[in-house]
Amino acid sequence: MPIYMDRHEIPDEIKPEHVARMHQEDLKVQHLYGCRGITYWCDSERHTAFCLIEAPNKEAIQRMHNHAHGTLPHHIIEVDTRVVESFLGRIEDPEKSANSELNIIDDPAFRVIMVLHTAEHLHRMEANQLSIFSQKFHRSIAKSIRHFEGSIVQENDKVYLVSFRSVTNAVLCALKILENFKYLFPKVESEFQRLQIGIASGTPVTDQEEIFHESVTKAYQMAEFVKDQIVITTAVKAQYENENRNAIIDPVCIRVLTPNEEIFLGALLSFARKHWNGPKFNIGLMSKMLGYSRSQLYRKIRKLTGKAPNTFIREYRLNKALELLRHQKGNISEIAFESGFSSAPYFTKCFQSTFHILPSKFIQLVK
C-alpha cells in the first residue's frame, strides 16, 4: 500500500501530550479503514503536526482521523519513506521514555534545506585531472555535511540536496564548503570554479504534492540562478539571528533575498519553464507577463542574476540543451531546434561560448 504524510494545524492550546493521545486514538480504529499509523512529528512552536500513515488512499486517512478524534488533516501527500527518512531522520517512533504512559513526541518536522550547485568541469580537464578533482571535491563536501550534522537527500556530480535541523549548522556548513572549494584545486582556472549554494527552510507538507516542495524549489532557484555564491531567504536570516542571539549575517559573504526578490525570482523562472523553447521566450512577452517595463525588468534581472535579460534567456535555453545532450535526447541539430535556436551552427557557437566546449565534444565526454 502507498505511504502518505498529512499536515494538521493545531490550536495554541493543544500540547504535545494531546497530540500523542490523538495518535493513540488513531491506532485504536485504524484497522477499520485499512490504515497503519507509522509515526508522527509534533511542532509545538509552529503549532503543526505531521502523520506518516500507510493507507489504501487519502480518503481512508480522513475517515480514520474523523472517527478517532474529529480532527481532519489540512493536506495529504503520497511520499517515499526513503525520502522521508533522508529529510527527517526517522520513519518510526522514537523510543518511549521509561515509566511513561504515552510516547509523547515533541519533534518538529521543520527543516533547513541546502542546495549546492556546481558548474561543468568536464571540458577543462583531462580525465585523470577530473577524477582527482571530483574525488577531492566530493570527499570535502561529504565531510563538511557530516561535521555540521546534515543529511544528504540527493546527490550527483553537479548538485547536492541536504537537510539540516539547525539553521546555524546549514549556514556554517555552506561557509565551510565554500572556503574549502576555493583552495581545493588551485590549478583550475578561476572562472570555472563555480560553486553556488541556496538555503531555504520549511515544513514537509504544504499545499503542494511533493515533500518539502516549496523550500526545495526556493533553494534550487537561488543556487542555480542568483549570482552570489551563498544565497538565503529572509526567513532563514531571521531564524539564524534568533538561534544566535541577533548575530548579524555578513552581507559580504551571504546574499539575503528580500521577500519581493523571492517572489520575482519565482515568477521569472515560472515564465521561463513555460516558454523556454518557444518563439515567445523574449523580453517583450516577459515584460508583459511579469508586469514590468523593459527597463525595470532589465534592472531586476541584472541585480538578481548578474546577467542582461537576453543573456539570461540564451543561457537558460543552453542549460536545458545541455541536459538534453547529457541524456542523449536527440542529435545536435534536433536539440538545437528543440531548445529554441534558429540554426544548429548558431546553437554550436553559443554553446561553445558559454560552456567552452563544442556540443559534439561534450557528447563524447558524457557517453
* Whether the predicted pLDDT of 58 surpasses 90: yes
- Alpha-carbon distance of 337 to 139, in angstroms, equals 39
* Whether the predicted pLDDT of 131 surpasses 90: no
Q: What pLDDT, on a 0 to 100 scale, did the predictor assign at position 181?
A: 84
pTM for the model stands at 0.91
Q: What is the pLDDT of residues 232-263, one digit of tens each?
A: 999 999 999 999 987 888 888 999 999 999 99
Q: Report which of 299, 305, 300 is spatially closest to residue 223, judged by C-alpha positions.
A: 305
Q: What pLDDT, on a 0 to 100 scale, did the predictor assign at position 188?
A: 52
State the DSSP string of 103-140: --------EEEEEEEE---GGGS-HHHHHHHHHHHHHH
Q: What pLDDT, on a 0 to 100 scale, did the predictor assign at position 122?
A: 45
Q: Is the pLDDT higher at 136 or at 53?
A: 53
- Alpha-carbon distance of 182 to 193, in angstroms, equals 8
- Alpha-carbon distance of 256 to 92, in angstroms, equals 36
Q: What is the pLDDT of residues 260-311, one digit of tens each?
A: 999 999 999 999 999 998 888 889 989 999 999 999 999 999 999 999 999 9
- Alpha-carbon distance of 222 to 258, in angstroms, equals 12
Model confidence at 3, pLDDT cuts 50, 70, 90, reads: very high
Q: What is the pLDDT of residues 330-349, one digit of tens each?
A: 899 999 999 999 899 999 99
Q: Report which of 299, 357, 359 is spatially closest to residue 326, judged by C-alpha positions.
A: 359
Cell 544565497 belongs to residue:
231
Which of 98-102, 138-142, 153-157, 291-295 shows the lowest per-residue confidence on average (mean pLDDT)? Answer: 98-102
Half-sphere exposure of 282 (CA within 13 A, CB side): 7
State the DSSP string of 136-163: HHHHHHHHHHHHTT-EEEEE-SSEEEEE
Q: What pLDDT, on a 0 to 100 scale, did the predictor assign at position 98?
A: 44
- Alpha-carbon distance of 43 to 108, in angstroms, equals 4
Q: What pLDDT, on a 0 to 100 scale, did the predictor assign at position 99?
A: 47
Q: What pLDDT, on a 0 to 100 scale, did the predictor assign at position 299?
A: 96
* Whether the predicted pLDDT of 135 surpasses 80: no
Residue 128 grid coordinates? 585523470
Half-sphere exposure of 306 (CA within 13 A, CB side): 7
